[in-house]
């Protein structure tokens, strides 16, 4: 496919997903608090959103603000977030990021990618999530669903797994203002239809737009 054809296909995919999932909501229940989304985004690495939502209830009842987390006892934070996996590094990151948020950004989440990337544990995936959800900016959250499905749809080879390259490709193919909502919807689509193993191609509303289904190869 030419770049123009890919962009056209992606536009059609975006339209259909809008119809399929009129609500575009973040799966992390951060209750409108940007700092909580920062913490939950970090906890979600190699963990399900459902588990992060459960664990976060206890975490935020014990440490309700960035100030509390920054001053919190590391071993207590570790103990609470243990079910999310990688708990030592994650606890260290969320405590240090909370401290930096206070020290360098007066407790206010930065609105620029470059500044967000300075926060411990924050990579482009979390930074994009924050920019899209908190600031309504154009963003591409390259999570496992986005990477898998956009490859199957023919936007790049299915074997490509590099999130940075994929983010740049998708940015070049779509109206980036629609990126954040698209990524939330693709998570729903990935959980319900285009599963990692055993995608439900026979009932898929995107099958006529899908390279995987049609056997197209780059
Ligand atoms: S046709 Fe199959 S592989 Fe393609 S998007 Fe639908 S479920 Fe995924």
Question: Best mutation site among 16, 207, 208, 211 for ligand 1, i.e. most ligand atoms within 8 A of its Cβ?
Answer: 207
The burial of 193, by beta-carbon neighbours within 10 Å (0-12 exposed, 13-18 middle, 19 or more buried), is given as middle
Cα(103) to centroid(ligand 1), Å? 46
Tell which atom from ligand 1 comes closest to the C-alpha of 201.
Answer: 2
pLDDT of residue 218: 65
User: Across the chain, what does the average pLDDT equal?
Assistant: 96
Domain boundaries, the chain: 3-25+140-214, 34-121
- With 70 as the cut, is the pLDDT of residue 88 above it? yes
Cα(152) to centroid(ligand 1), Å? 7
Percent of the chain with pLDDT over 90: 97
The burial of 23, by beta-carbon neighbours within 10 Å (0-12 exposed, 13-18 middle, 19 or more buried), is given as exposed
The token pair that represents 24 in the structure block: 């575009």
pLDDT of residue 215: 87
Q: What residue ranges line ligand 1, CB within 6 angstroms?
A: 152-153, 193-194, 199-201, 204, 206-207, 210, 212-213
* Residue range 35-49, pLDDT digits in tens: 999 999 999 999 999
Distance CA 146, CA 163 (A): 9
Same fold, 3-25+140-214 and 34-121: no
- With 80 as the cut, is the pLDDT of residue 101 above it? yes
> DSSP for 32-69?
T-HHHHHHHHHHTTTS-HHHHHHHHHHHHHHS-SHHHH
Cα(95) to centroid(ligand 1), Å? 40
SS3 for 186? helix
* Residue range 8-39, pLDDT digits in tens: 999 999 999 999 999 998 999 999 999 999 99
What are the DSSP E strand ranges found in the chain? none
* Residue range 125-149, pLDDT digits in tens: 999 999 999 999 999 999 999 999 9
- With 80 as the cut, is the pLDDT of residue 66 above it? yes
pLDDT of residue 216: 81
- With 90 as the cut, is the pLDDT of residue 56 above it? yes
34-121 has which fold?
A: Endonuclease III; domain 1 (1.10.340)
Whether domain 3-25+140-214 has CATH 1.10.486.10: the reply is no
Active site residue 202: no
Active site residue 125: yes
């Amino acid at each position: 496919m030419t770049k123009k054809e890919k962009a056209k296909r992606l536009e059609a995919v975006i339209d259909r997903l809008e119809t399929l999932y009129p609500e575009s909501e973040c799966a992390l229940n951060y209750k409108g608090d940007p700092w909580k989304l920062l913490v939950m985004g970090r906890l979600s690495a190699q963990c399900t959103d459902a588990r992060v939502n459960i664990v976060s209830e206890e975490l935020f009842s014990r440490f309700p603000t960035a100030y509390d987390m920054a001053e919190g006892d590391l071993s207590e934070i570790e103990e609470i977030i243990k079910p999310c996996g990688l708990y030592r590094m994650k606890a260290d990151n969320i405590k240090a990021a909370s401290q930096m948020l206070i020290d360098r950004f007066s407790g206010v989440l930065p609105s620029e990618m470059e500044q967000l990337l300075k926060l411990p544990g924050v990579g482009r995936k979390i930074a994009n999530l924050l920019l899209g959800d908190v600031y309504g900016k154009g963003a591409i959250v390259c999570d496992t669903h986005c990477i898998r499905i956009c490859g199957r749809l023919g936007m790049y080879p299915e074997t490509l797994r590099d999130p940075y390259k994929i983010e740049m490709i998708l940015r070049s193919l779509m109206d980036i203002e629609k990126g954040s909502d698209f990524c939330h919807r693709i998570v729903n689509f990935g959980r319900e239809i285009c599963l990692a193993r055993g995608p439900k191609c026979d009932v898929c509303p995107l099958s006529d737009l899908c390279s995987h289904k049609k056997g197209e190869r780059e």
